[in-house]
Structure formats: structure tokens, C-alpha cells
Amino acid sequence: MTTTAKGKIGVLVEEHFDETEYRRFNEFFRDRGYEVEYLSNLWGQEQLTFKGNDHEDEVTVTVDFQSVSPSDYAGLILIGGYAMDRLRYQVAPQPNTPSSAPAVQFLRQAVKLMDGGTLKIGTICHSLWLFCADPTLLSGRRVTCAHNIICDVENAGGIVIYDGSETAATHIDGGLISGRHPGVVEEFMQVFVAEVDRRLEGVAVS
């Protein structure tokens, strides 16, 4: 019997999310005692429904990340696919001004908690795009990602880790756990949940 005693894993999502990751997150984390809660920018609506890359799965989101705090979650994951590119959209960008996208503002809060040791953040495939919207969040961090966004990550100051002729399957840099693409989602989830469990056990001990 599955319980949700450990807390919630928040997953940021938007249209064109990766469906392989979506299906596995729903099964894997719940089987390990976590509730999975999807978050997005609801644009003032009570709920929005987003379709995945293959138009087979969809998710209805009722939680706007502007109404919650990253501290409400045991861990946060930025789902892959093109969802994070959509979430970094700014309504009214200004020159020489940090991104005002609500998702980026939420990520800034989350990264402060991550760097303080009280939150784990997971990225996979293209989802580092949200970090790239504010290079101060990514600069100097060692990460892995999909091959086709290596230049984006490096231009934002990230250090891409390789394994031979490809980017590493997974990598841990402090509280940031990154994965290459959906083909390594099983390893990514195992590494991420182990890091979240370890943090929670440390909190319980202290």
C-alpha cells in the first residue's frame, strides 16, 4: 500500500512536456511514499490542462507556483520536453533586466533553498532551459543535459559533464541533480529520490 508520508515532489510542467518522464514520475515517486504535485503558471485560471510532446498524455494542473513556496516540497523537478522553454516566457521583457517570468522567479526562490541545503532540484533533458533564463542561477554549476542544449547551458555559465562521447547520464552538484534525457529517467529518479531521502533523514536526525 502506497503512502505519502514523506511529503510532496513538485513537478513544474507546461505544454509539450516529456510523456515518458511524466508516466514514470507518477508511478515511481508514489511507490516510494511521495505525493507528486504538478505546478505551472495558470494565468489567473483555476486550472489548465497541458498535453505532452506525443499528444497521448495530458495533465490538469490546479496549483499555480505563484501561490505556493518551494519550501512546501521535499524536492522539485523541472520536467523535460519543451515545457521549460514555454515557462520562461516573459510578458513584458525589459533590456538589461533579469527575467520576470513567474517560473524563473519561483526558481530563484528554490535555488536559494537548494544552496542552503534544504531543497533538492532535479532537471532532465531540456529542462535546464529554465535555469538558462537567469544565468546567475546556473553559472559555475556542473550539470548534464540533452546534447542539443549544450550550447545554451554553456552560454549561461554551466559546466557540462561528459562520459566519453556523450554527456553524463546523471550528475549531482550539491543540491542539483541533472539527467541527460528520458532514456536515463530510471537512473535519474533513483539518484534524485536517494538525495531527497538523505536530506529528509538528515533533517529528522537534527
Cβ–Cβ < 8 Å for 46, 85: no
How far apart CA 155 and CA 131 sit, in angstroms, is 11
What is the reported pLDDT for 204?
Answer: 55
Q: Which of 17, 86, 87, 4 is nearest to 52 (CA)?
A: 17
Q: What number is the average pLDDT over the span 102-115?
A: 98
Question: For all residues of the chain together, what is the average pLDDT?
Answer: 95
Which is more confident, 132 or 5?
Answer: 132
| Bridge pairing between strands 142-143 and 176-179 | unpaired
What is the structure's pLDDT at 122?
A: 98
User: What is the mean pLDDT of the segment spanning 180-193?
Assistant: 98
With a cut of 50, say whether residue 2 has pLDDT above it. no
Tens digits of residue pLDDT in 29-62: 999 999 999 999 999 999 999 999 999 999 999 9
User: What does the pLDDT read at residue 202?
Assistant: 84
CA 56 to chain centre: 21
User: Is the CB of residue 190 less than 8 Å from the CB of residue 75?
Assistant: no
Q: Domains, the chain, ranges and CATH?
A: 7-205 (3.40.50.880)
| pLDDT for residue 201 | 87
Q: Give the pLDDT confidence score for residue 206 in this predicted structure.
A: 38
Is the pTM for the entire model greater than 0.75? yes
